[in-house]
Amino acid sequence: MNNYTTPWKIGNVEINKRMVLAPMAGISNKAFLSLAKEFGAGLVVTEMISDKGIEHRNAKTLSMLDFDGIPNPLSIQIFGGDATTLVEAAKFVEAHTTADIIDINMGCPVPKVTKNESGSRLLLDPDKIYDVVSAVASSVALPITVKMRTGWDNEHLFPVENALAAEKAGAGAVAMHGRTRAQMYEGSANWDILAQVASKMTIPFIGNGDVRTPEDAKRMLDETGVDAVMIGRAALGNPWMLKRTSHFLETGEALPEPTIAEKIETAKIHLVRLTDLKGDDTGSREFRQHAAYYLKGAPRAAKVKLAINQANTSAEIVAIFDDYLKNL
């Protein structure tokens, strides 16, 4: 067994792969996470769920907490800017869900989140990070983790201080995306900063950003000293990235990319699970963004995407896919 495959722990939760699926808003729901698990993800993290939504027992928010049937380990991510409300949300998650771990979002760069002192806004103040994590970690038995970015912008960059504040406050692990909030998803992830932080941490530290291939995952582990890699956008429409990375870390062998036919077959499974979860109407609409990812790089994909964007039912989408495969 090599370092790439040795099981590791967050608190008392054992994780058998050095690969974590990132929380992605609007993506990481039950339909996507079930696929990710089947394709070899170790730990999976849900899309971010509002602490205020939980506090007000908002029906849509509560439905987002249903991950029954997703194999463990599972981490549910919550967000908010107020320690008291986050504590209540964490207690609710612990009592009413299948979560093994609760993650606090300190990375989301979107203005509607940051204006409420949530997400990456917290990166401006290591003391606030300490207070929030300490309050939540001391109120629940489940391990608490934090997902953050390197900083707010290049003028406000406290990655080591922020990560250590979370550790001192009782976090069981920290994941860091190697971009600032100001970068959003542009430019490159700064792996040098990830290496700096990794060298100072005693709890598990998970690196995120620009892991686009299995080889990138190994390189991040080798070059930065992180305990695990977090894969996000590279798995969109491409859960094979998880399987291929897992296999590469275990054996050093690069598995081939999936064929277009394989991609479409999996896309159809994803569609069924999404419509089971959200109803045919909403599920079919939400699937449009996934279809674009599954079709990335396929011949004549633009035409198919256009047809799917105009389809209103899952049956229409399946027919479009089948027709496309017949004429490949």
Give the Cβ contact number of residue 268 at 10 Å.
17
Would strands 8-10 and 13-15 be described as parallel, antiparallel, or unpaired? antiparallel
Of 10-14, 112-116, 179-183, the one with minimum mean pLDDT is: 112-116
From the list 90, 93, 108, 291, the catalytic residue is 108
- pLDDT (tens digit per residue) in 195-216: 999 999 999 999 999 999 999 9
262-320 pLDDT, tens digit per residue, is: 999 999 999 999 999 999 999 999 999 999 999 999 999 999 999 999 999 999 999 99
pLDDT of the residue at 1: 38
Confidence of residue 2 (pLDDT cuts 50, 70, 90): low
What band does 115 get if pLDDT is binned at 50, 70 and 90? confident
Active site includes 108? yes
In the numeric block, the tokens 């047809």 are attached to 307
Q: CATH class for domain 260-326?
A: mainly alpha
Mean pLDDT to the nearest integer, 85-94 = 98
Q: Does domain 8-251 have CATH number 2.30.30.100?
A: no
Domain spans of the chain, in order of start:
8-251, 260-326
Contacts of 181 (CB under 8 A, 6+ apart): 109, 114, 119, 120, 123, 149, 151, 152, 153
Question: Average pLDDT in the 47-60 region?
Answer: 96
State the chain's mean pLDDT as an integer.
Answer: 95
Pairing of strands 173-180, 101-106: unpaired
Q: How far apart are CA 304 and CA 267, in angstroms?
A: 13
Q: Could you give the CA distance from residue 122 to residue 115 in angstroms, rounded to a whole number?
A: 11
pLDDT on residue 112: 77
